[in-house]
Amino acid sequence: MSILERQLDRAQLDAEKMTPRQERQQGCIPMWVADMDFPAAEPIRAALLKRMEQPTYGYTGKTNRYYDAVTGWMKRRHGWDTKAEWITTTPGVVTAMGFAVRSVIQPGEKVVYQPPVYPPFKRMIEKNGGIAVPSPLKLQDGAFHMDMKDLEAKLSDPEVKLFFLCNPHNPVGRVWTRQELTQIGELCLKHGVTIFSDDIHHDLVLSGHAYTPIASLSPAISNITITATSPSKTFSIPGFKMGNIFIESKELRGKFRTIVENTGVSDLDIGAIEATIAAYNDSEAWFDEVLQYIEDNNKLVDSFIAERLPELKTFALEGTYLKWIDCRSLNMDGRALESFMLEQAKIWFSEGYTFGEEGAGFERMNLGTQRNNVEETLARLEQALQARA
Ligand SMILES: Cc1ncc(COP(=O)(O)O)c(C=O)c1O
């Protein structure tokens, strides 16, 4: 049996994913937040135990051990040459979104983003003084695409100073191609727009697809880009709260760092440092097994839905472990669909409408879990849909 099949009692450990926020989430199978259920890689557990055994928990620096692990991974896994000095650490990628907005725009200026997208995009733009301008993704021929015409129109507005990219895209599961990224990069260069690329899911790329850091496309694009990464999703360690934010441009990096320093949160805690090093240096084999497991979960969901739930539609999953499911043919609005899933099917998904109005009628299912949870979810879904018919 794969180590990934081992089920830990996460509810006992106060896992957010297992803790109902509403009465009707009780007894539902939790398939929502982007948080994997797999036991973490053994090298990470061992490194943490070894460090915690030493009873000295004072302020701890990030030395070459840390930076070599991070830049080494980017080079080895993605062929991306980066330098330690480009990196600023933050306690997570969402935190970095707010810092990026504050360091690039003046209050009241605009930031373009592409819904349906991870809800903090819009929230962090607005809560940090920006005006969020949507350029919705287009659903065409069964796949999501960027609307380049609309994007150009929005980016050419002189009040737009920043573009929020999500690569791979949560929730639609696209891994943007070099061609798409080149078009975006060129549009941003042409219109003087800085790019914040949230690449937190960058390692989670399924076979047949390749992740391209937009900053790797050219020195000019790198010069206007902030790339946000973290080992948290890849290695299922988001509870440690860490982010590595790459900025090549000295000027842009300086502005970003000033905001980070002004808030006093640039240090990482000891656990985040040790977990990151052990993840990037010693846990690649664990991750490759996880990726294969997710790929198999994805195949299972696709074939089950195609064969037994033809009223629903799925999309080719290129990246992330988050499956976007089109339930619009059920003719329920976002809230009614949520009630149906929680109260009839007893499944707790991430609700499509929370990703923007473009997401209403969709559900997002987490595939980073043991096979029996995926099977149970599909069985519950089938039963609830049959009872409704
Ligand atoms: C696209 C994206 N960005 C950021 C995050 C969260 O990042 P962090 O926990 O580092 O703040 C998530 C979590 O689901 C995500 O999907």
- For the segment 49-90, what is each residue's pLDDT rounded down to a tens digit? 999 999 999 999 999 999 999 999 999 999 999 999 999 999
Q: Whose CA is nearest to atom 14 of ligand 1?
A: 34
Helix (H, G, I), strand (E, B) or coil at 127: helix
Mean pLDDT of 330-348: 98
Tokens of 78: 């993605």
Mean pLDDT of 112-141: 98
pLDDT, tens digit, 9 for 90 and up, residues 167-198: 999 999 999 999 999 999 999 999 999 999 99
Provide the pLDDT for residue 354. Answer: 98
Tokens of 316: 């080719």
pLDDT at 291 over 80: yes
pTM of the complete model: 0.97
Provide the pLDDT for residue 240. Answer: 96
- Residue 313 host element (H or E): strand 313-314
The mean predicted confidence, pLDDT, of the chain is: 97
Q: Whose CA is nearest to atom 9 of ligand 1?
A: 92
Provide the pLDDT for residue 278. Answer: 98
Residue 230 CA: nearest ligand 1 atom is 10
Provide the pLDDT for residue 110. Answer: 98
Expressed in angstroms and rounded, the spacing between residue 41 Cα and the centre of ligand 1 is 20
- Per DSSP, 278 falls in state H
Provide the pLDDT for residue 78. Answer: 97
Residue 202, C-beta contacts closer than 8 angstroms, at least 6 positions apart: 78, 167, 168, 211, 213, 229, 319
Task: Name residues contacting ligand 1 (CB within 6 A).
Answer: 34, 92-94, 118, 166, 170, 198, 200, 230, 232, 238, 243
Give the span between the Cα atoms of 316 and 146, in whole angstroms.
16
Expressed in angstroms and rounded, the spacing between residue 206 Cα and the centre of ligand 1 is 19
Residue among 149, 226, 148, 156 at smallest CA distance from 190? 156
- Residue 293 host element (H or E): helix 284-308
Read off the pLDDT band of 157 (50, 70, 90): very high
